[in-house]
Structure 1
Amino acid sequence: MKQLPKRSAVPEQLTWDLTSIYPDDASFKKDVQQVKDAAEQIKSLSGQLSRSGADLYRVTTAVLDLNRQLERLYVYASLKNDQDTGNATYQDLAGQAESLVATVASATAWYEPEVLALSAADLQKLIDSEPRLADYQHLFDVLAEQRDHTLSTSEEKLLAGAQDIFGASAKTYSVLSDADLKFPVVQDAEGKDVRLSEGLYGVLLQSTTPRVREQAFKGLYSVYQQFRHTFASTLASEVKTHNFTAKTRHYASAREAAMAENQIPAQVYDNLVTTVNSHLDSLHDYVHLRRDILGLPELHMYDLYTPITGEPSLSYTYEEAQQEALKALSVLGPDYIDQVQAMFTSRAIDVVENQGKRTGAYSGGAYDTKPYILLNWQDSLESLFTLVHEMGHSMHSHYTRANQPFQYGDYSIFVAEIASTTNENLLTDYLLKTQTDPKVRAYVLNHYLDGFKGTVYRQTQFAEFEDFIHQQAADGQSLTADFMSDFYGKLNERYYGDAVISDPEIADEWTRIPHFYYNYYVYQYATGFAAATTLAQRILSGDPEKREAYLGYLKSGSSAAPLDVMRAAGVDMTKPDYLETAFATFDERLAEFKELAKQLK
């Protein structure tokens, strides 16, 4: 029976090299103590920032420097833990880092209230009196928007000190889903026994053998359903935390509070849900087509991922995928490609799945580290798309940090998914331009349609569920497993229509979605994908000014409001136009796919 390798058995060249962050764990622990000491010392700066512009600069940079040190520590510990969540040593380091986050937050909790205690005029007078503060103007402007939602120094300190407690539900969920759940043995298409995992699950759902898909689906959910009441408890606690924090900070809702962090108005969220629901007929059309082409008497939820065109005709080893990625992204210019190549050669990517490794994929890092990518590689087209997706994040991080000072050296969550999905759109265009075999083209189109389904439709479905449970909890409704599954099951039926059987297991899908612990994150996948469609079209036009506008977005970091950054790149996300452009592209490619499907019969 095929088993996942232990971490120690993974070839070194397929693992990330974290020694550029800390050469060893001892160095990490030394810095932990330094940050603890600095956190204690920074408390003495309280009460000094309003004395002069020079003092405001001195205190502000001290607070930022402390957070910069903390960021490096946190990234090292989290990356180490994610490479093997069952390793007790790195569980401990991650725990230390999380505790340190709360310590630093508590130690600096006085800073924002003291800044906001100044009138707008007095604050601006201090800024104008110190030339070095000119580079921090936008930082203070953003902070000023929180004036009505910032508490007293003692209250802020109390909330900051509780951050470790507030994060307990998400941590419990992560440990349970990533380390403790044991999935059953299933059979692959060749009849070989394989141990099911979250990573392998995605591959088996793409199998052209129905029994493999069904077995994987039911096998995975049989485990999650054993713990559905536990997952309901962790999710309900997380939602209560979001609602409590929002109410404490005088927001009308958790959604308003979460979106205010990124300066995003409610109309962006509402436009998404409204526009997606107005185009559910396109999804139903696609689902009907899938059932007809597959020739299944019944289409089940586990049949929504297998390629309609049959066994994938495109597969890539990791080495082959690197070359394809470089070709697909070449339209972004030589410097972009040089930076991608550097990622491939500097062991910045943790490639293969191993026992205990965090599932999924992400790009992570700190201002003072290279961007790192976690993968759970499978030799599939999907993994190639994942690679260019995460590379989009990493290049966004690289260009931001190379062009912005630390105070603007990160970017809003709202714009984070746009760079990654722009890369996916560029890869789709590259494949459609270079693959002439009708079967291959049909496969690529199907992959795009599935990606759109999974990103725009599915993530908006998640967003509706997330908003619903927050509202219900705020109204006093108990978020039991049965209550959430009942709503989720009906929501799933509305999204996918009557062409697919809503298998009872799918009502419990919420149990295995980690993003529900991220506080209104998921809607941004959908808005990001739609915006990326417009941006990719602009890049592919061949107009160098449009490409430079896009690269300007990558370089902007948080130096301007997210919506302003996107307007400069060429997309106004306060209007539904970019969403309509995305749906027009979906419908166009669906029509092309239908024609190819007829030819291939």
Structure 2
Amino acid sequence: MKTYKSREEVPETEKWDLNDIYVSLEEWERDYQKIEKNVAELQTFDGKINDGKTLYNFLHKEELVETLFKNVFVYAKLSGDLDTRETLPQSLLEKASQLGVKLNSATSFFTPFLLGLEKSTLDKYIEEDSRLDYFKDDLYDAYRYKKHVLSKEKEELLSQLGESLSSPSRTFGMINNADIKFGEVTDDDGNKVELTRGMYSKLMEEDDRSKREEAYNAYYKPYVQLKNSIASTLSAAIKNNVTLSKVRSYPSALEKSLFANKVPKEVYENLIQTTKDNLQSMYRYTELRKKTLGVNELRQYDLAVPLVNGVKEDISFDDAYQMMLDALSPLGSDYINVLQEMKSERYIDVRETPGKSSGAYNLGLYGIHPFVLLNHQDDLNSLFTLAHEMGHAMHSHYSNTHQPQITAGYTIFVAEVASTVNEVLLINFLLKNAKNEEYRKYLLNHFIDQFKGTFFTQVMFAEFEKKTHERAEKQESLNAESFSELYEALFQEYNGDSLVLEEQTKYGWARIPHFYRPFYVYQYATGFAAAIAIANKILNGDEEVLANYQEFLKSGSSDYPIELLKKTGVDLTSPEPIEDALSLFAELVDEFSKL
């Protein structure tokens, strides 16, 4: 695999083209100043909306300004992510972020105003100006929140407390990203070096068990040392969420989080219960891992090492792209043609270079196109990451092309479906074309571990969140000891008795940033289950499901996520999709065991 010492070494064809947003900084600056001027104009509507025409003028101007703002913000972010050490793009991003605060402040009057209107008054405004039909669904949807919105004075007070209420999350972010220093590990030359997060995930796949153990101890060391400080931030975040739920008259913190997407709490509870009723195959896999590794006691640092050795292969970016196209051909020729265009038109930034933002993501820009950031490593993981992110990009492309701007965006609840359908189609293609039994075993092991991380681990996290919030609602204590006792019990329950827990295991809660975004992670598991159901039907030649899935990709947020998925034949209010996903996991473990 070629490594690049600078961005200049990367071929132009493997770099995205930001000229599609702005061809010059002057153009960016012009839009920035235009937004500043319009933000001031938006503020003048406060207290002046008293007929249909004025209401339309405000909403229309707000949408135009938000479109421009997204272009300005995304351009700054994409530029900055190419080299986080460069000061100019970082200053553009800071400037854009401050502008975003001004825009939010200028329009913050609108929701309390709208919910203060009688519905009959809103009906009258909509009758007065037919152009309001475009905004009608959103305006009426806001009324769902009516009993959860406070008086104007109290809402203003809460908005002023916004920064304080988000303080636990920011504090954890600073501890986790800026302050934490991991312990030392031994490099290949026998020297002691400080562990980094990137090194940790690689070392966890090392064949040498002593290296894995050393990395594990070094990684957990700061979290154990800071357990009380982190427990304090997590406890505050949970209590803030519970308090806000009560202030806004929601039955529980869980129901407050599910309200926006109209997800019944039974979906959340059913996910946890159905998974817990089907943990036997997970226990079998843990036992199989112990047996395959030939260890007397399976430890937490043994859970990520591949069980099949010597079959890793280099997959160049061009080869990976072609393999993905072949694997996704069941989705139809239009899907494949657009994917080919995304590569040739330079929507993707492919290579890891010094200073480039880590990881991978897709950012869809309405009226322009999606932009995909990768750090491609020419390996199997990178192939799966490519298929995953291009799934998001295609979802953005279809929704932006077929929906008006107001409904083009989509929620996290459905986002993970589009990416995971691609991964399921890819693993099926690779298994079908595996050149020998060892490689097939390697692929099965990869998919089982991915399944475990995306499904079982996220359900365990979801149960931890549910129980900690319930404790706060009963005013029970939340501290390092209570978090650790709960986390340890859940970790054992989800992994089985074949796993011998380390002393550090129980502090796993201290390293999870998702816990500061309450009741979010369950969507990875529901999305994964829904994707498996859809992909399997497409692979079985179900033309109706294929057509419905193609429509789903074009749907944006034109309906609530549960309803959008029902149109593809997946009903997450029933246990069936979760049970089907768990049956597939059991089959994968069976086959891997036999091989």
Output the TM-score relative to the length of structure 1.
0.89
- Residues 1:146 and 1:283: Cα distance change in structure 2 (over 3 Å): same
Which residue is 2:286 aligned to?
287
Q: Deviation per CA, 1:393-422, whole angstroms, max 9, x where unpaired? A: 111111111111111010122111111111
Please say if 1:410 is aligned against 2:409.
yes
| Distance in 1 (alpha carbons) for counterparts of 2:176 and 2:367 | 31
- Point out the more displaced range, 137-146 or 70-79: 70-79
CA contact (8 A) 1:469 1:479 kept: yes
Report the equivalent of 1:490. Answer: 489
Correspondences of 1:21-420 after superposition (within 5 Å): 21-23=21-23, 27-28=27-28, 30-52=30-52, 54-85=53-84, 89-160=88-159, 163=162, 166-174=165-173, 176-178=175-177, 181-183=180-182, 186=185, 196-353=195-352, 357-420=356-419
| Compared CA separation, residues 35 and 146, structure 1 to 2 (3 A) | same
Query: 1:340 and 1:135 mapped to 2: Cα distance?
Result: 31
Moved more, 316-325 or 579-588: 316-325
Give the aligned residue type for 1:297.
N
Shift of 1:543: 3.2
1:168 deviates by: 4.6
Structure 2 residue matching 1:374: 3-state secondary structure: strand
Match for residue 464 of structure 1? 463
Matched to 2:492, the amino acid is E
Partner residue in 2 for 1:507:
506
- The one-letter amino acid paired with 1:41 is E
TM-aligned CA deviation for residue 478 of structure 1 = 5.7
Length, aligned pairs only: 594
Deviations 1:136-182 (A, max 9, x none): 33223322211222233444444445545544544454455445555
Partner of 1:599: none
Distance 1:563 1:253 in 2: 20
Q: 1:38 to 1:235 in 2, by over 3 A?
A: farther
User: Are 2:364 and 2:397, in contact at CA under 8 Å, matched by a contact in 1?
Assistant: no
Report how far residue 82 of structure 1 moved: 4.3
Shift of 1:504: 2.5
On the 8 A contact 1:102/1:160 being kept in 2, the answer is no
Is the CA contact 1:84–1:357 (under 8 Å) kept in the aligned structure 2? Answer: yes
Letter aligned with residue 37 of structure 1: K
The CA deviation at 1:287 is 0.5
Three-state SS of the structure 1 residue aligned to 2:428 is: helix
State the alpha-carbon separation in 2 of the partners of residues 247 and 87 from structure 1: 45
Q: Is the 8 A contact 2:311 2:438 kept in 1?
A: no
Q: Is the 8 A contact 1:49 1:56 kept in 2?
A: yes
The one-letter code of the counterpart of 1:291 is: K
Which range is displaced more, 88-97 or 134-143? 88-97
* Shift of residue 67, structure 1, vs aligned partner: 2.5
**SS class of match (1:145):** helix
Q: CA deviation at 1:302?
A: 1.7
Match of 1:439 in 2: 438
What SS class does the counterpart of residue 18 from structure 2 fall into? coil
Amino acid at match of 2:319: E
Mapped partners of 2:235, 2:382: distance in 1: 33
Give 5+ residue unaligned stretches, structure 2.
none
Structure 1 224/33 Cα, relative in aligned 2: closer, same or farther at 3 Å? farther
Q: Helix, strand or coil for the counterpart of 1:375?
A: strand
Which amino acid in 2 is paired with 1:51? D
How far has the Cα of 1:332 moved from its partner?
1.0
Deviation of 1:251 after TM superposition, in Å, equals 1.8
Q: Is the 8 A contact 1:48 1:59 kept in 2?
A: no
1:359 Cα deviation after fit: 4.1
- CA drift of 1:461 comes to 0.8
Sort the Cα spacing of 1:125 and 1:106 in 2 relative to 1 into closer, same or farther, 3 A.
same
The one-letter amino acid paired with 1:286 is Y
Distance change in 2, residues 1:292/1:563 (3 Å): same
Which residue does the alignment assign to 1:529?
528
Shift in Å, 1:384: 1.5
Measure how far apart 1:273 and its partner are: 0.7
- CA deviations on 1:466-487 (whole Å, 9 max, x unpaired) are 2233333444456444442332
Q: Offset at 1:537?
A: 1.3
| Separation of aligned partners in 2, 1:561 and 1:124 | 23
Give, as a single letter, the amino acid of the residue that structure 1 aligns with 2:587. Answer: E
Contact in 2 for aligned 1:485/1:508 (Cα 8 Å): yes
- Call closer, same or farther: CA 1:436–1:354 in 2, change over 3 Å: closer
Residues 34-89 of structure 1, C-alpha deviations (whole Å, 9 max, x = no match) = 4333222212223444413x333222222222332333333334444544555555
CA distance in 1, matches of 2:161, 2:590: 53
Q: Which residue of 2 aligns with 1:573?
A: 572
The 1:3–1:592 alpha-carbon spacing in structure 2 relative to 1, beyond 3 Å, is closer
CA contact (8 A) 1:102 1:163 kept: no
Cα deviation per residue 1:343-401 (whole Å; 9 max; x = unaligned)?
33344334444555544332224324432233343333222212211211111111111
Contact 1:102 1:164 in 2 (8 A): no
**Is 2:13–2:344's contact at 8 Å kept on the other side of the alignment?**
no
Task: Look up the equivalent residue of 1:313 and give its one-letter code.
Answer: K
Query: Does the Cα contact within 8 Å between 1:461 and 1:492 map onto a contact in 2?
Result: yes
Q: Deviations over 1:485-525 (max 9, x none)?
A: 33222221121111112222333333333322333210000
Q: 1:85 to 1:224 in 2, by over 3 A?
A: farther
Q: Match of 2:565, as an amino acid?
A: M
Unaligned segments of structure 1, at least 5 residues = 597-601
Q: CA deviation at 1:32?
A: 4.0
- After superposition, the C-alpha distances for 1:196-253 in whole angstroms (9 at most, x for unaligned) are 4323432332233323322332232234445444544444444344334433332233
Greater shift in the superposed pair: 103-112 or 151-160: 151-160
Further displaced range: 76-85 or 303-312:
76-85
Q: Give the aligned residue type for 2:540.
A: S
* Distance in 2, Cα, partners of 1:231 & 1:317: 42
1 CA distance for matches of 2:418 and 2:277? 26
Q: Does 1:451 align with 2:447?
A: no
Q: Is the 8 A contact 1:77 1:97 kept in 2?
A: yes
Q: Deviations over 1:87-125 (max 9, x none)?
A: 555554444444433332222122222222333344334
